[in-house]
Structure 1
Amino acid sequence: MKKHTGLLTLSLMLVTPALAGGAGAPATPRPAAACKSIAQIVTTDPNFSTLATAVEAAGLTQTLMSGQYTVFAPTNAAFAKLPSDALAAALNDPALLRSILLYHVVPGKVTAKQVMGLSSAKTAQGGSVLINVMGGKVMIDNATVTKADVMACNGIVHVVDTVLMPAMAAAPAPAPATVTVTTPAPAPAPASTAPAATDIMAIPAMPVGMSGTTTTTTTTTTTTDTTSSTTDTAVSSNTVYDLITTDERFSTLRDLLSDAELNDVLISNDFTVFAPTNEAFAAVDADTLALIASDPETLKAVLTYHVVPGKITADQVAAATQLRSAQGASLNFKLDGTTQMVNEAMVDGAGLEASNGFIYTINQVLLPPDLVLPTATVETTVTTPTVTVTLPAAQSGANITEVLSQPQFSTLLSLVQKAGLVDALVAGDVTIFAPTNDAFAKVPQATLDTLMADMDKLKQVLLFHVVTGRVVDDGLNVAQLRSMEGSSIDLMVDGTGYKVGVRGADGIMGGMVSSRADAGNSVIYPIDSVLIPPTLK
């Protein structure tokens, strides 16, 4: 598992009095604050009113009230970038709308820190979003994350400034397969030979496991002649993890659980957690804690040492002398007068009961007796200066059709018209890497004849040259862009321009971008070669 932990930042956070609750003062137990589901965040924030309408129209409200998801949520301003007729068409087509919305959803909880360590992520729609980090900005496909880590009871919301469009929705192709949300039905549907629809509720969360513990998340359906019952362990909103997430005394523990990818374990199984407070973590030597947090296996070992499988009541804790932790080593229990001790830590107050276990607040971090700290490493950071390329202006126009009507693009325009893509290109803001007539002249005639005879392949090639949104200036200083065809376009600075195409062992095979033409709110870059998508067969 990749880990990108800012050790210095983490150390400073853990010793900050505001995080620790103030100068080591005893923590005062208080009831956990009510948290909101993803659906509630979307429906109660006026910035998401258009998204809320879309979620309701797609029948996904109940889905986003349970389960465990990460949502890249477009604001009203993001939806405003879409042509009104295109938005209206999507709102009136539940299958298309559901496909677009599920393309914004990733199963499981993925924090901003984890997102920045990824290059792509599989969505509930079935496609994958492309992830780029450039100059401190996180790009999801061609959208920028403007606010990260909005925590929900059942996941995380990251706010984006552009609506993400899956390849099938972006291209004027057959409508995407229907995505079905599980709802009670009076009887099974008749057998059909059509492909099975995707059920979002059957998509598993991100795989997680505890060291020394076999973890299984199971959805069981029992059917008899007269009854049918379903048990879904991920639906409860009062799990051990939920209580830890909503109680600010445990904010450090919550973040570390997320770093160790143990969130879903504490949702899907019965556990008892001896939970150190923020003050307990602040009392640990900062360098020691930073070393623990720097190694995923060490962090998981320390955290699971605080966890005992099963629901252990206060009476059972008081009667115990030893209990085996999920990490494998045993915890020692004793009464010191009227104070319950776990190893050398004191249990503070009564336990909190969750739907799948108990939480006991403790004042020290417990370290396994067999813990071996990882060796500290000195990292050398090499800063590569950002190369800014200024492209000279080409002949611009009022719209895409006007620019492509220039003589140098006559072949491209005729192919776009033949493929019926004109309306798709003028429906919203796009970026086109436009091969000139000279570029098409380099393509073997046999290849062109094949494309002209196969409309699907022709559309595939043409849409590989198109990116949703207006990509200019620093937007080109990324390793990849997602094309409307669905594949990634690789980019790199090459002299005074950009090389675009498909990266191979010998570099990027494709064309050169050396100028820029504005076409209304869209932008066109003439290129000297035709780009062939890697998916073309």
Structure 2
Amino acid sequence: MIGFLTLAVIVQSAFAGNLVEVLQNDGETTLIALVQQTGLADALLGGEFTIFAPTNAAFAKLPQATLDSLSKDTTALANILKYHVVKGSIHKADASNELQLETLAGTKIRFNIYNHNHAVTVEGSNITHFDLTASNGIVHVIDTVMMPPTGNIVDLVAGNSQLSTLLSLVKTAGLAGSLQGDALTVFAPTNAAFHNLGSHVLHNLHSNPELLKEILEYHVVPHTEYSAGLYNREHLRTLDTRHDVIRLGVSHGAVTVNKKGHVIQADISATNGVVHLIDHVLLPARNHLSSILG
């Protein structure tokens, strides 16, 4: 005998429209227009797919310059749209923390599950509505347009002019290899943050590679923490030798780190994790550090 839930799923699938129709019925008019503009509608009807569908409000959050650029470059636009699509039907129940799925763009997207607030994200974007069933797949609604990362964390640091000091210190400490591991979060001090330490402290860091390595590792968390998963008074253990913790403050969307640092740009995705730019260099609470850095 077929159970009630099984029967309900069969009935729902029988009456569900295709993926494009489900998107239309859910009101994702901007996404539909872009899919049609790039000629992807037929492709979405030619197989079984899961779509992570940005809302109209998600597209409205994009800078106007980005929208203008994409409107002139159909290939780039199509690549971003493909980044929101994976083959097969992936239900909410299939998701696990740090699960990665390959998209039609050829790059991967990462699930994160945060138990404290029951948030589920994909590349840091909140999934606000799960498991809209179509006759040829599944739609999950997300609140932010996902942009394909251009490389791993080291590539990201190397390509950001605000992080040139950090890049130099990472090379000095021999940490580039460690930052190419998977599922990492880096709270990355800007050039200005290092400048605020003063030339004497920077000189001491350059002349003491072990100390430098310890301090840089204190900025790295060995799992992926997008801003959707951060919460007030959260303690995150780091990669440094004693696995010291950094302490977060979250209030009205603003994030502080160890009370003195502020996240000035959040959720910069890399292929192996996420980077948050901060305006302060973090130091573990150790007695021996004051004499070396003072």
Identify the TM-score tier after normalising by the shorter chain. Answer: 0.5 to 0.7
Deviation string 1:286-312 (CA, Å, 9 cap, x unpaired) is: xxxxxxxxxxxxxxxxxxxxxxxxxxx
Tell me which residue corresponds to 1:456: none
* Alignment partners' CA distance in 2, 1:59 and 1:140: 25
* Alignment partners' CA distance in 2, 1:126 and 1:67: 17
Deviation string 1:252-283 (CA, Å, 9 cap, x unpaired) is: xxxxxxxxxxxxxxxxxxxxxxxxxxxxxxxx
| Paired amino acid for 1:164 | M
* Structure 1 residue matching 2:150: 3-state secondary structure: helix
* Alignment partners' CA distance in 2, 1:145 and 1:151: 15
Deviation string 1:46-71 (CA, Å, 9 cap, x unpaired) is: 2x111112212221111112201011
Contact 2:247 2:258 (8 Å CA) reproduced: yes
Out of 98, 118, 128, which is 2:78 matched to? 98
* Structure 2 residue matching 1:517: 3-state secondary structure: strand
* Structure 1 residue matching 2:17: 3-state secondary structure: coil
Change over 3 Å in CA distance of 1:160–1:410 after alignment to 2: closer
Contact 1:54 1:91 (8 Å CA) reproduced: no
- 1:43-62 → structure 2 map (5 Å cutoff): 43-46=24-27, 48-62=28-42
The reply to whether residue 474 of structure 1 matches residue 227 of structure 2 is no
Out of 98, 103, 106, which is 1:126 matched to? 106
Change over 3 Å in CA distance of 1:57–1:137 after alignment to 2: same
Change over 3 Å in CA distance of 1:143–1:116 after alignment to 2: same
Query: TM-score, normalised on structure 2?
Result: 0.56
Out of 145, 152, 156, which is 2:127 matched to? 145
Contact 1:36 1:153 (8 Å CA) reproduced: yes
Deviation string 1:136-162 (CA, Å, 9 cap, x unpaired) is: 221111111111100011100011111
* Alignment partners' CA distance in 2, 1:152 and 1:37: 5
- 1:61-76 → structure 2 map (5 Å cutoff): 61-76=41-56
Structure with bigger gyration radius: 1
Tell me which residue corresponds to 1:497: 247
The reply to whether residue 514 of structure 1 matches residue 258 of structure 2 is yes
* Alignment partners' CA distance in 1, 2:239 and 2:20: 36
* Structure 1 residue matching 2:24: 3-state secondary structure: helix
| Paired amino acid for 1:66 | G
Tell me which residue corresponds to 2:188: 433
Change over 3 Å in CA distance of 1:475–1:122 after alignment to 2: farther
The reply to whether residue 39 of structure 1 matches residue 27 of structure 2 is no
1:495 offset after TM fit, Å?
A: 3.5
Contact 1:411 1:440 (8 Å CA) reproduced: no
Which structure has the higher relative contact order (CA within 8 Å, separation 6+)?
Answer: 2
Tell me which residue corresponds to 2:158: none
* Structure 1 residue matching 2:79: 3-state secondary structure: helix
Alignment gaps of 5+ in structure 2: 156-160, 167-185, 208-223, 249-256, 268-275, 284-294
Change over 3 Å in CA distance of 1:34–1:443 after alignment to 2: farther
Tell me which residue corresponds to 1:116: 96
* Structure 2 residue matching 1:168: 3-state secondary structure: coil
| Paired amino acid for 1:474 | Y
* Alignment partners' CA distance in 1, 2:145 and 2:19: 18
The reply to whether residue 81 of structure 1 matches residue 64 of structure 2 is no
Change over 3 Å in CA distance of 1:84–1:133 after alignment to 2: same
* Alignment partners' CA distance in 1, 2:31 and 2:151: 17
* Alignment partners' CA distance in 1, 2:239 and 2:144: 21
| Paired amino acid for 1:514 | N
Alignment gaps of 5+ in structure 1: 1-13, 22-29, 174-400, 413-430, 445-466, 480-488, 499-512, 530-537
- 1:182-197 → structure 2 map (5 Å cutoff): none
* Structure 2 residue matching 1:101: 3-state secondary structure: helix
Structure 1 runs (4+) deviating above 6 angstroms are: 475-479, 520-523
Deviation string 1:393-430 (CA, Å, 9 cap, x unpaired) is: xxxxxxxx9xx7xxxx9957xxxxxxxxxxxxxxxxxx
Change over 3 Å in CA distance of 1:521–1:169 after alignment to 2: closer
- Identity across matched positions, percent: 27
Change over 3 Å in CA distance of 1:132–1:440 after alignment to 2: farther
| Paired amino acid for 1:162 | T
* Alignment partners' CA distance in 2, 1:410 and 1:118: 29
Deviation string 1:70-103 (CA, Å, 9 cap, x unpaired) is: 1111101111221122122113211111111111
| Paired amino acid for 1:36 | G
1:134 offset after TM fit, Å?
A: 0.6
1:167 offset after TM fit, Å?
A: 1.2
Contact 1:42 1:52 (8 Å CA) reproduced: yes
* Structure 1 residue matching 2:41: 3-state secondary structure: coil
* Structure number with higher helix proportion: 2
* Structure 2 residue matching 1:165: 3-state secondary structure: coil
* Structure 1 residue matching 2:39: 3-state secondary structure: coil
Deviation string 1:6-65 (CA, Å, 9 cap, x unpaired) is: xxxxxxxx578xx778xxxxxxxx9x854311122223432x111112212221111112
| Paired amino acid for 2:19 | I
Deviation string 1:165-223 (CA, Å, 9 cap, x unpaired) is: 1113999x9xxxxxxxxxxxxxxxxxxxxxxxxxxxxxxxxxxxxxxxxxxxxxxxxxx
* Structure 1 residue matching 2:231: 3-state secondary structure: helix
Change over 3 Å in CA distance of 1:15–1:64 after alignment to 2: closer
Matched pairs, number: 213
Contact 1:40 1:65 (8 Å CA) reproduced: no
Contact 1:51 1:74 (8 Å CA) reproduced: yes
